[in-house]
């Protein structure tokens, strides 16, 4: 998910995409016909919403005839296209703005667990994000794991400007931040460290409380489109 959204990759063609009447199926991931990927607000315009990904080293001693030439420049578009083949979930990071008491948030797909002891998670935010300064100023932040039917929530929190929470249902987490209704899970955390990384900052956050909030499948982002996990 670029703007505050973690880098949602661009849509690109693929020979193995088939229609199922409800959307399209891409290598096992059902991509629904609906909202086009939004221009995220700062959480990333990298591989898609972003590009929080690291690239694997190329073994110069072997050549894969089916791979694109490594001599090609890793320009932004190609980077997003290739990294977009790594499927991710999508989270909404929320908080209460300490300056005005209003809810604030952004969408991101650059989220991962980091450590069990101590319990740490991480996510990436673009330097251009207009929502991150407000979230960063809060005492704690809450990560909401979005469900497969919450593409509209992702779009709202990935947008720039306006009231992102208009029409969104939420209650307060134990930490006092917006816990979005029907999200799969919530994680209350606080910033432990920040590490500059190119056009983003890697945020390490310590987990204080967490729980399962809803049921169902996750909202999936793959090759520039939204979908759901199919068993």
Higher pLDDT, 165 or 67: 165
pLDDT digits (tens, 9 = 90+) for 6-39: 343 322 222 222 233 333 333 233 333 233 334 3
Higher pLDDT, 5 or 17: 5
Mean pLDDT across the stretch 219-224?
Answer: 92
Percent of the chain surpassing pLDDT 70:
68
The C-alpha angle with vertex 116 and arms to 113 and 119, in degrees rounded to 5, equals 75
Closest listed residue to residue 49, CA positions, set 184, 175, 151, 187: 151
How confident is the model at residue 202, as a pLDDT?
Answer: 97
Q: What is the rounded CA–CA span in Å between residue 228 and residue 231?
A: 10
DSSP helix/strand/coil, 22: coil
Distance of CA 68 to the CA centre of its chain: 27
How confident is the model at residue 228, as a pLDDT?
Answer: 86
Contact 179, 170 (CB under 8 A): yes
Q: Is the pLDDT of residue 69 over 90?
A: no
How confident is the model at residue 171, as a pLDDT?
Answer: 97
Closest listed residue to residue 123, CA positions, set 7, 219, 204: 204
How confident is the model at residue 162, as a pLDDT?
Answer: 84
Q: Is the pLDDT of residue 51 over 50?
A: no
Q: What is the rounded CA–CA span in Å between residue 46 and residue 55?
A: 13
pLDDT digits (tens, 9 = 90+) for 148-202: 999 999 999 999 878 999 999 999 999 999 999 999 999 999 999 999 999 999 9
Closest listed residue to residue 192, CA positions, set 175, 171, 207, 210: 207
Contact 157, 6 (CB under 8 A): no
Mean pLDDT across the stretch 86-114?
Answer: 96
pLDDT band at 73 (very low <50, low <70, confident <90, very high): low
The enclosing H or E element of 152 equals: helix 151-158
Q: Is the pLDDT of residue 222 over 50?
A: yes
Tokens of 47: 């591989």
Q: What is the rounded CA–CA span in Å between residue 163 and residue 169?
A: 13
pLDDT band at 88 (very low <50, low <70, confident <90, very high): very high
Specify the pTM: 0.71
Percent of the chain surpassing pLDDT 90:
57
- DSSP class of 162: S
């Amino acid at each position: 998910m670029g703007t505050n959204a973690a880098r949602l990759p661009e849509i690109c063609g693929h020979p193995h995409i088939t229609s199922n009447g409800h959307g399209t199926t891409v290598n096992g991931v059902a991509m629904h016909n609906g909202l086009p990927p939004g221009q995220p607000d700062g959480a990333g315009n990298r591989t898609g919403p972003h590009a929080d990904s690291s690239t694997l080293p190329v073994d110069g001693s072997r050549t894969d005839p089916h791979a694109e030439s490594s001599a090609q420049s890793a320009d932004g578009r190609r980077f997003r296209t290739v990294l977009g083949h790594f499927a991710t979930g999508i989270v909404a990071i929320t908080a209460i703005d300490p300056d005005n008491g209003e809810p604030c948030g952004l969408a991101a797909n650059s989220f991962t667990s980091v450590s069990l002891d101590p319990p740490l998670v991480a996510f990436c935010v673009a330097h251009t994000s207009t929502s991150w300064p407000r979230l960063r100023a809060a005492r704690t932040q809450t990560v909401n794991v979005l469900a497969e039917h919450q593409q509209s929530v992702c779009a709202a929190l990935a947008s720039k400007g306006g009231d992102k929470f208009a029409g969104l249902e939420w209650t307060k987490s134990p930490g006092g931040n917006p816990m979005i209704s029907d999200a799969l899970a919530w994680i209350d955390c606080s910033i432990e460290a920040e590490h500059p990384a190119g056009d983003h900052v890697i945020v390490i956050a310590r987990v204080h409380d967490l729980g399962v909030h809803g049921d169902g499948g996750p909202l999936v982002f793959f090759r520039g489109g939204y979908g759901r996990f199919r068993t």
